[in-house]
């Protein structure tokens, strides 16, 4: 700043104080410096002698706008202020008084932007900064340096308190607050852009919510150890914050507003989502955003017959209701939740409990705002000129009435667009010709008006001019009859909405000819896609959903990483997509939008309550809903289509449900009604955009499974909600009846392309044997049997997923063998030798289960090498004789062989029992003795006679025969395969020969 300016401003402080005391606080100082004369009129409250008044003046330019700022360090200024231009050159008049509400008088610096003064095309915006000690502000709020100091307040919520703190974190933001419940802390800031954005019919509000993993003492998984893309859960909470705040923002406020919210601490008990809604409402109330009322949010649970406000996560595990409600001290702005078929009356009671809690929070917030809030930027609100509404109605009123009678959406939309273009051409290019000759001369053209405005414009760059270089030439303007394109579009939309409301209230008919409670025609069919596991096409009017169901194993479950620490596996999830072709437009195709995520979650939670338990139906279920046509209530069409697709896939659902969207015209008296709110059933897109409510309800005749309500006005009351819920129940009943006439009907059986699932229960300590080291065993089972997947839980539940029955049976047999509990003394027949070692052979007693038969247990006598007698692939009978501490099995072939006694030269002549249980005489021909040396102990059916092992000597045969006496009782139970392929005849010959 030029040094002369500081000197002038410093010398001005004393005269201002003297004039204020001499003229009861009213003065009009002239500011000759900076080359212009400025006449100012202030209204000041009486000041003490110790208080000083300082007036600072500076000028800066932003693009083509000349901005002048007056800084007066006194919050005693109050009243309203306007800026007027004198007819004399370089002279302005500030008349009326500046208004600072008593609740916003702060010692901290306050910035107020006043309505722009239009000078031709250029606009001069003035801002005043006031600061001084105020007796209404506590010393604990504002320090000596003028900086807001920490301030906290406890607010009762349910059976405990939440702690709200401001002034200690994020002090440079327009509003910042931390809200604590237990050990869960949510930090929220609100910031505004200094320059307003282009006017539009959509408030420039953005909300970002993030759950830091550090809040729970964790770090994110994967390669990048930091939070990345916003997760679906966080997107849903962003929507919960945005939806109640947006309808309370005033029209005409175009400064971009950003709300940032972080979870800094999470204790696992107190959910942060309801705290985030409350924190955002408090932060906006403390900021400069000109919001009318404070907003708060709470969660309501129902455990038994008790309604709990902000229940803990443990309490929510037993709750039949999950309701999140947001509103003001007098009205409800948003509700969303899910329930287990609770009736309408219980839901209304929960809403009433939640509204009482919200009212208590809002009352405390109002007191907090009086102490710590900033002045609202009411001057930044810019509304279209009032006369523009009359011009639009005069030009297009009759044609709007005709266009609204078009039944179909696309022709009606095109007709409205054409009519809007016509109004724009008249009011923005050709100008609207009025009959008032005083306003405009008929000989004056639009070009002349624009040329006069160009002459008044001078661009002044901040810091590049000295005193006397500023020259602003005022002119007496003739009001131009041109309007901005944005203003014309905004007014055209509001006028169209007005005529739409008038048509419904007065005529009792909607755009498509329906009555307020009438449902659009419904058509549905199943089995549309032959290769899909289940499919359905649901059509209601001009809204259509193609729902497809896919069944899979546990690997198809959706994995969710949350603050709780344990990754959640969702066995059911619904994915909603809304392509631009569904509304006949060209648009971007990419990642799912926030709207798609929100609508998909609403439909998912609606259908979740009718699914069977995992024990009854162990499939992972995925539902895809693609909106092929859209004209309102596409999320509820997804509920209806998804229910039919589940039945077509053979999922044994508990019952059928349907969804419906309800609308509202709140003030009917303005449009010729009796003032009673008009509730609309099954609303279309135009009724959603022009109406006051969008209330989606899903369920059946007995109760509600999910609901979501958005309000576009200041809020609704419980009686209105009660009527809407009753009308929605009648609508759901009608839709369910129409769904029963689906043609073709649902298959109600598993598709032949769906995977087969077999559930087995094994002992938990056998699960490790099935999985194996590093999962090697379970992978080998999958490869050997040909199944798709095998899931083994720690509790002993084993699920086999296969495409066909043979592979399923093979894997089932392998797992049964692995899971069996062997007992010492069990005999296993016809077992295959898998491998041979120097110390014995490994025998597979069951698929995937092997045991060691030591070389000492392979024969009754001495055997130098196992491979001399046995070969891989041979089949023998073995007996389990030992299980060591590691669970390894020790088998024996010798225990099943006939017993011989080497000390006795004679064998008992009594009847002997062979391995197959057949009694034979001990007497036999001597000829068998000569053949005993070539008898087989064991052989395989695959082996040829050349490969058969022979006994080493007659001595070995003798021992083999003598051993039969000691094992006489054991061999009774064995089959003829107990000694390999040696026949009964051969054995008899052996015994007889030795005798």
User: What pLDDT, in 10s, does the model give residues 817-844?
Assistant: 888 778 888 888 889 999 999 889 999 8
**Nearest Cα to 357, choosing from 122, 157, 618?**
157
Is residue 442 one of the residues assigned to a domain? no
Residue 482 pLDDT > 50? yes
Q: Read off the pLDDT of each residue in 439-443 and give the average, rounded to a whole number.
A: 37
| DSSP helix/strand/coil, 987 | helix
Lowest mean pLDDT across 287-301, 313-327, 557-571, 590-604? 557-571
Q: Give residue 472's pLDDT.
A: 40
Q: Give residue 700's pLDDT.
A: 94
In angstroms, the CA 536 to CA 524 distance is 7
Percent of the chain with pLDDT over 90: 37
Q: Give residue 181's pLDDT.
A: 95
Q: Among the three residues 896, 922, 941, which one is the final residue of a domain in this structure?
A: 896
Contact 678, 574 (CB under 8 A): no
Q: For tokens 């006069």, what's the residue?
A: 452
pLDDT digits (tens, 9 = 90+) for 789-818: 888 888 888 989 898 889 999 998 888 888
Q: Give residue 668's pLDDT.
A: 85
CA atoms within 13 A on the CB side of 139: 1
841's tokens: 């052979």
Domain match, 599 and 733 both = yes
pLDDT digits (tens, 9 = 90+) for 527-575: 999 999 999 999 999 999 999 999 988 888 888 877 776 667 889 999 9
Percent of the chain with pLDDT over 70: 69
Rounded-to-10 torsion of CA 250, 253, 256, 262: -20
66's tokens: 């000349």
Domain match, 261 and 369 both = yes
**Nearest Cα to 625, choosing from 636, 616, 638?**
638
pLDDT digits (tens, 9 = 90+) for 355-400: 999 999 999 999 999 888 999 999 898 888 889 999 999 999 899 9
Contact 213, 221 (CB under 8 A): no
Contact 699, 732 (CB under 8 A): yes
Indicate the DSSP class of residue 188.
E
In angstroms, the CA 624 to CA 576 distance is 6
Q: Read off the pLDDT of each residue in 169-188 and give the average, rounded to a whole number.
A: 94
Total Cβ atoms within 10 A of residue 772:
15
Residue 83 pLDDT > 60? no
Residue 79 pLDDT > 60? no
Instruction: List, in order, residues 6 or more apart from 597 with CB less than 8 Å away.
Output: 232, 235, 236, 576
Residue 603 pLDDT > 90? yes
In angstroms, the CA 659 to CA 700 distance is 8
Confidence of residue 944 (pLDDT cuts 50, 70, 90): very low
Confidence of residue 448 (pLDDT cuts 50, 70, 90): very low
Q: Read off the pLDDT of each residue in 235-262 and give the average, rounded to a whole number.
A: 92
Top pLDDT among 885 and 950 is at 885
In angstroms, the CA 235 to CA 746 distance is 34
Domain match, 170 and 157 both = yes
Rounded-to-10 torsion of CA 968, 972, 977, 983: 70
Is residue 625 one of the residues assigned to a domain? yes
| DSSP helix/strand/coil, 544 | strand
Domain match, 537 and 678 both = yes
In angstroms, the CA 987 to CA 16 distance is 133
Contact 760, 819 (CB under 8 A): yes
Q: Among the three residues 380, 410, 443, which one is the final residue of a domain in this structure?
A: 380
Top pLDDT among 910 and 878 is at 878
Lowest mean pLDDT across 88-92, 224-228, 329-333? 88-92
Residue 314 pLDDT > 50? yes
Q: Give residue 178's pLDDT.
A: 96
95's tokens: 């008349």
Domain match, 692 and 763 both = no
Is residue 412 one of the residues assigned to a domain? yes
Crossing angle (nearest 10°) for helices 594-608 and 634-648:
50
Q: Give residue 690's pLDDT.
A: 87
In angstroms, the CA 77 to CA 101 distance is 10
Domain that holds residue 890: 826-896
| DSSP helix/strand/coil, 106 | coil
In angstroms, the CA 76 to CA 943 distance is 112
Is residue 68 one of the residues assigned to a domain? no
518's tokens: 């009438």
DSSP notation for 693-734: EEEEEEE-SS-EEEEEEEESSS-B-HHHHHHHHHHHHHHHHH
Contact 594, 235 (CB under 8 A): yes
Domain match, 238 and 272 both = yes
**Nearest Cα to 181, choosing from 275, 244, 249?**
275
In angstroms, the CA 101 to CA 136 distance is 12
Domain match, 599 and 687 both = yes
Domain match, 365 and 392 both = no
| DSSP helix/strand/coil, 857 | helix
Domain match, 771 and 715 both = no
Contact 639, 657 (CB under 8 A): yes
323's tokens: 């309701």
Q: Read off the pLDDT of each residue in 426-436 and give the average, rounded to a whole number.
A: 58
The CATH number linked to 406 is 1.10.10
Q: Read off the pLDDT of each residue in 839-860 and give the average, rounded to a whole number.
A: 87
Q: Give residue 335's pLDDT.
A: 94
Domain match, 503 and 533 both = no
Spell out the long-range contacts of 417-425 with Cβ–Cβ below 8 A and sequence spacing 24 or more: 420/489, 420/492, 422/395, 422/396, 423/392, 423/395, 423/396, 423/488, 423/492, 424/485, 424/488, 424/489
Residue 165 pLDDT > 70? yes
pLDDT digits (tens, 9 = 90+) for 881-925: 998 888 788 999 988 888 655 444 343 333 333 333 333 333 333
Domain match, 544 and 651 both = yes
**Nearest Cα to 83, choosing from 108, 63, 56, 112?**
112
Residue 425 pLDDT > 50? yes
Rounded-to-10 torsion of CA 20, 25, 26, 32: 30
Highest mean pLDDT of the ranges 82-91, 334-343, 667-676, 793-802 = 334-343
Contact 819, 830 (CB under 8 A): no
Summary mean pLDDT of the chain: 74
Q: Give residue 436's pLDDT.
A: 41
Residues pairing with 629 in the sheet = 544
Q: What does the angle CA 359 – CA 361 – CA 363 come to, to the nearest 5 degrees? A: 70
The CATH number linked to 213 is 3.30.230.70
The CATH number linked to 865 is 2.40.50.140
Question: Residues 811-843, buried b or exposed e (16+ Cβ, 10 A)?
Answer: bbebbbbbbbebeeeebbeebebeebeeebbbb
Residue 650 pLDDT > 70? yes
Question: Residues 607-622, buried b or exposed e (16+ Cβ, 10 A)?
Answer: bbbbbeeeeebbbbbb
Is residue 884 one of the residues assigned to a domain? yes
Cα maximum dimension of the chain: 151
541's tokens: 């009017």
Q: Count of residues for the chain? A: 995
In angstroms, the CA 681 to CA 632 distance is 11
Q: Give residue 849's pLDDT.
A: 79
Q: Give residue 119's pLDDT.
A: 35
Q: For tokens 């000349």, what's the residue?
A: 66
Is residue 413 one of the residues assigned to a domain? yes
Task: Please confirm whether the linkage preceding 120 is cis (ω < 30° from 0).
Answer: no
Q: Give residue 137's pLDDT.
A: 35
In angstroms, the CA 721 to CA 742 distance is 32
748's tokens: 């109600």
Q: Give residue 142's pLDDT.
A: 52
Q: Give residue 76's pLDDT.
A: 33
Q: Give residue 723's pLDDT.
A: 93
In angstroms, the CA 876 to CA 447 distance is 110
Contact 926, 993 (CB under 8 A): yes
| DSSP helix/strand/coil, 613 | coil
Is residue 551 one of the residues assigned to a domain? yes
Query: In angstroms, what is the C-alpha Rg of the chain?
Result: 43
Top pLDDT among 175 and 957 is at 175
Contact 994, 955 (CB under 8 A): no
* Strands lying side by side in the sheet with 151-157: 151-157, 160-166, 175-181, 184-192, 257-265, 205-211
Q: Give residue 26's pLDDT.
A: 41
In angstroms, the CA 912 to CA 967 distance is 11
Domain match, 293 and 210 both = yes
The total number of structural domains in the chain stands at: 5
* Conformation bin of residue 924: beta by default, left when phi > 0, alpha when psi is -120 to 50: beta
pLDDT digits (tens, 9 = 90+) for 619-631: 999 999 999 999 9
Q: Give residue 980's pLDDT.
A: 32
Q: Read off the pLDDT of each residue in 186-213 and give the average, rounded to a whole number.
A: 90
Is residue 375 one of the residues assigned to a domain? yes
Burial (Cβ within 10 Å: 0-12, 13-18, ≥19) of residue 122 = buried
**Nearest Cα to 645, choosing from 575, 548, 753?**
548
CA atoms within 13 A on the CB side of 215: 25
The CATH number linked to 762 is 3.30.1370.10
């Amino acid at each position: 700043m030029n040094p002369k300016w500081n000197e002038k401003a410093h010398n001005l402080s004393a005269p201002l104080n003297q004039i204020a005391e001499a003229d009861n606080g009213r003065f009009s100082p002239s500011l000759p410096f900076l080359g212009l004369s400025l006449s100012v009129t202030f209204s000041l409250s009486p000041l003490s002698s110790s208080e000083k008044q300082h007036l600072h003046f500076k000028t800066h330019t932003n693009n083509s706008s000349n901005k002048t700022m007056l800084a007066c360090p006194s919050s005693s200024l109050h009243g309203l202020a306007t800026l007027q231009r004198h007819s004399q050159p370089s002279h302005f008049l500030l008349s009326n008084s500046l208004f600072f509400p008593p609740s916003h008088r702060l010692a901290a610096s306050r910035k107020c932007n006043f309505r722009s003064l239009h000078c031709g095309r250029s606009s001069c915006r003035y801002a005043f900064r006031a600061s001084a000690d105020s007796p209404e502000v506590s010393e604990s709020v504002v320090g000596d340096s003028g900086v807001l100091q920490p301030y906290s307040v406890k607010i009762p919520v349910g059976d405990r308190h939440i702690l709200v703190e401001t002034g200690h974190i994020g002090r440079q933001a327009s509003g910042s607050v931390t809200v604590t419940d237990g050990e869960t802390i949510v930090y929220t800031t609100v910031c505004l852009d200094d320059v307003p954005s282009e006017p539009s019919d959509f408030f420039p509000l953005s909300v970002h919510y993030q759950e830091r993993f550090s809040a729970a003492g964790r770090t994110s998984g994967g390669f990048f150890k930091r939070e990345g893309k916003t997760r679906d859960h966080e997107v849903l909470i962003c929507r919960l914050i945005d939806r109640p705040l947006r309808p309370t923002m005033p029209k005409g406020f175009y400064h971009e507003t950003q709300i940032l919210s972080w979870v800094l601490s999470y204790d696992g008990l107190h959910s942060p989502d309801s705290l985030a809604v409350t924190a955002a409402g408090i932060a906006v109330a403390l900021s400069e955003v000109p919001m009318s009322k404070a907003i708060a949010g709470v969660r309501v649970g129902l455990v038994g017959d008790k309604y709990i406000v902000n229940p803990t996560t443990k309490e929510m595990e037993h709750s039949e209701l999950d309701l999140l409600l947001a509103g003001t001290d007098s009205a409800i702005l948003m509700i969303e939740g899910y329930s287990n078929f609770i009736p309408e009356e219980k839901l209304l009671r929960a809403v009433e409990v939640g509204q009482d809690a919200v009212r208590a929070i809002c009352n405390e917030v109002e007191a907090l705002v009086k102490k710590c809030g900033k002045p609202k930027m009411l001057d930044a609100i810019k509304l279209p000129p009032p006369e523009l509404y009359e011009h639009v109605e005069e030009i297009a009123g009759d044609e709007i009435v005709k266009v609204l009678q078009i039944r179909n959406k696309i022709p009606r939309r095109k007709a409205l667009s054409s009519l809007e273009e016509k109004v724009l051409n008249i009011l923005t290019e050709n100008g609207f010709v009025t009959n008032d000759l005083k306003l405009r001369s008929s000989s004056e053209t639009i070009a002349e008006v624009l040329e006069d405005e160009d002459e008044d414009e001078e661009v002044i760059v901040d810091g590049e001019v000295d005193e006397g270089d500023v020259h602003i030439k005022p002119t007496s303007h003739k009001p131009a009859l041109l309007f901005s394109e944005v203003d014309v579009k905004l007014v055209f939309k509001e006028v169209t909405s007005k005529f739409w409301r008038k048509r419904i209230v007065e005529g009792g008919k909607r755009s498509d000819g329906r009555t307020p409670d009438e449902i659009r025609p419904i058509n549905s069919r199943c089995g549309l896609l032959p290769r899909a596991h289940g499919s359905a096409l649901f059509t209601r009017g001009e809204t259509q959903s193609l729902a497809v169901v896919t069944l899979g194993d546990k690997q198809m479950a959706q994995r969710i990483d949350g603050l709780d620490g344990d990754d959640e596996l969702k066995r059911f999830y619904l994915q909603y997509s809304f392509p631009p072709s569904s509304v006949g437009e060209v648009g971007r195709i990419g990642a799912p939008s926030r709207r798609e995520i929100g609508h998909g979650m609403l439909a998912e939670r609606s259908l979740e309550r009718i699914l069977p338990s995992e024990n009854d139906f162990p499939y992972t279920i995925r539902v895809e809903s693609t909106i092929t046509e859209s004209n309102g209530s596409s999320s509820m069409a997804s509920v209806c289509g998804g229910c039919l697709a589940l039945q077509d896939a053979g999922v044994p659902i508990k019952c059928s449900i349907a969804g419906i969207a309800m609308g509202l015209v709140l003030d009917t008296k303005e449009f010729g009604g009796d003032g009673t709110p008009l509730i609309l059933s099954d609303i279309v897109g135009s009724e959603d955009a022009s109406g006051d409510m969008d209330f989606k309800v899903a369920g059946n005749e007995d109760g509600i499974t999910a609901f979501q309500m958005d309000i576009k006005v200041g809020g609704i009351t419980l009686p209105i909600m009660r009527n809407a819920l009753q009308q929605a129940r009648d609508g759901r009943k009608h839709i369910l009846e129409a769904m029963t006439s689906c043609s073709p009907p649902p298959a109600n059986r598993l598709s032949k392309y769906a995977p087969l699932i077999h559930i087995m229960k094994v002992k938990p300590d056998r699960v490790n044997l099935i999985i194996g080291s590093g999962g090697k065993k379970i992978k080998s089972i999958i490869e050997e049997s040909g199944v798709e997947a095998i899931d083994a839980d720690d509790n002993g539940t084993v699920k086999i997923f296969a495409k066909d029955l043979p592979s399923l049976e093979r894997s089932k047999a392998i797992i049964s063998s692995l899971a069996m509990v062997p007992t010492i003394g069990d005999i296993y027949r016809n077992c295959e030798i898998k491998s041979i070692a120097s110390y014995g052979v490994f025998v597979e007693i069951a698929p995937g289960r092997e045991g060691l038969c030591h070389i000492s247990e392979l024969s009754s006598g001495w055997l130098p090498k196992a491979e001399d007698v046995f070969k891989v692939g041979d089949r023998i009978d073995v007996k389990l004789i030992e299980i060591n501490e590691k669970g390894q099995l020790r088998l024996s072939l010798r225990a099943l062989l006939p017993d011989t006694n080497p000390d006795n030269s004679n064998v008992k002549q009594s009847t002997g029992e062979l391995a197959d249980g057949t009694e034979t005489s001990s007497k036999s021909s001597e000829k068998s003795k000569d053949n005993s040396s070539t008898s087989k102990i064991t052989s395989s059916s695959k082996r040829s006679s050349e490969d058969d092992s022979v006994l080493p000597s007659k001595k070995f045969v003798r021992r083999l025969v003598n051993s039969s006496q000691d094992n006489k009782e054991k061999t009774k139970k064995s089959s003829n395969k107990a000694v390999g392929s040696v026949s009964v005849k051969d054995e008899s010959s052996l015994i007889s020969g030795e005798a």
